[in-house]
Amino acid sequence: MSVKCGIVGLPNVGKSTLFNCISSAKAEAANFPFCTINPQIGSTAVPDKRLQTLVDMVHPRNVVPATVEIVDIAGLVKGASKGEGLGNQFLANIRETDAILHVLRCFDDPNIAHVDGSVNPVRDKEVIDTELQLKDLETVENRLAKVGKQAKMGADKEAQKMCSVLERYKEVLEKGQNARSVEFDNKEDIKLAKSLFLLTAKPVMYVCNVDEASAASGNAYVDAVREAVKDEGAEILVLAAKIESDIAEMESYEDRQMFLQDLGLEESGIVRLVQSAYRLLGLQTYFTQGEPEVRAWTFKKGDKAPQAAGVIHSDFERGFIRAEVIKFEDFVKYGSESACRAAGKLSTEGKEYVVQDGDIMHFLFNV
């Protein structure tokens, strides 16, 4: 499945620097607002040591990791919901993403201008939140004006259900809260809510961009962010984008690890960011293996075998017959698919099997 995360924030908070670290593409980074005008799009592999283990065991001709698509969206400013800066264009770019990586400046540097004149990540967060909420409120009110007339006629039950969903969103947005704070229990309501593609309904990760000295332990700015978002259930990640940029340029794995150890870090911030994005979206990985190719596939946690098979191709889901499954730990222990089969560690599963993270899968289908 395709996964897309959008990097947002005020100008000059480190968005493009972060993008350059985690993406194969290169966005321009400079000390002035709107340096990024068009959204830059790149992708990065999902770090997974299990994939390398399989490669070392199987020696395939081709290796394909799971990937996350990253979109560097230009800096928003106050008034973006009304078109200030290049607001409408940027907001449309956010709408197309699965999750938001909200970069907050948590470092002092007199040589890097701040659009509001001072460093205050909580204020910056509120500026972005407000602009996204106002845009969502506009979307909700426009939709209400359309379906409200249909609902009042009494015959259109679908319009009545949509009105109920819209009214709940309108209530929280008018209070200055994000749409993601609304929870629906009814599957039909959930489906209707998703169809609105509201900006503040998307899961968010706050990326606190700090200086080198704060890379391992954070700082007072980070503490303020944690306090401000403690009730949101959001992911918070602390990293130093400038340091991550230096790490990304190191060709030697050993050099990168030594550098991280000197900073008091076990893993780079980029590795932690991609892994956190996976958790944020409720994603997991299964593998297919063989001499032609070892590949990691992304699926939604809780997916059953046919849905997971559909990640490879829609025909796999449509014509699903059964799946052969080997647990990753068993494959490592016994050394091969044939050995796992002989040891009774290969199971045959049907349509109700819930795929587990790390499963090694082989699907049988017929269309």
**Spatial separation of the C-alpha atoms in residues 129 and 140, rounded to whole Å:** 16
Task: Give the strand pairing for 4-8 and 62-64.
Answer: unpaired
User: pTM of the predicted model, to two decimals?
Assistant: 0.83
Q: Where are the beta strands (DSSP E) in the chain?
A: 4-8, 40-45, 62-64, 67-72, 99-105, 204-209, 235-239, 283-288, 293-300, 320-326, 346-349, 360-365
Give the tokens for residue 110: 């007199």
pLDDT in tens, 276-324: 888 889 999 999 999 999 999 999 999 999 999 999 999 999 999 999 9
Q: Which residues contact 57 (CB under 8 A, 6 or more apart)?
A: 331, 332, 335, 336
pLDDT in tens, 45-88: 888 899 999 999 999 999 999 988 888 876 555 654 455 444 45
**Spatial separation of the C-alpha atoms in residues 83 and 77, rounded to whole Å:** 10
Q: Are 48 and 296 in contact (CB under 8 A)?
A: yes
**Roughly what angle, to the nearest 10 degrees, separates helices 15-22 and 241-248?**
30
CA-derived radius of gyration, the chain: 23
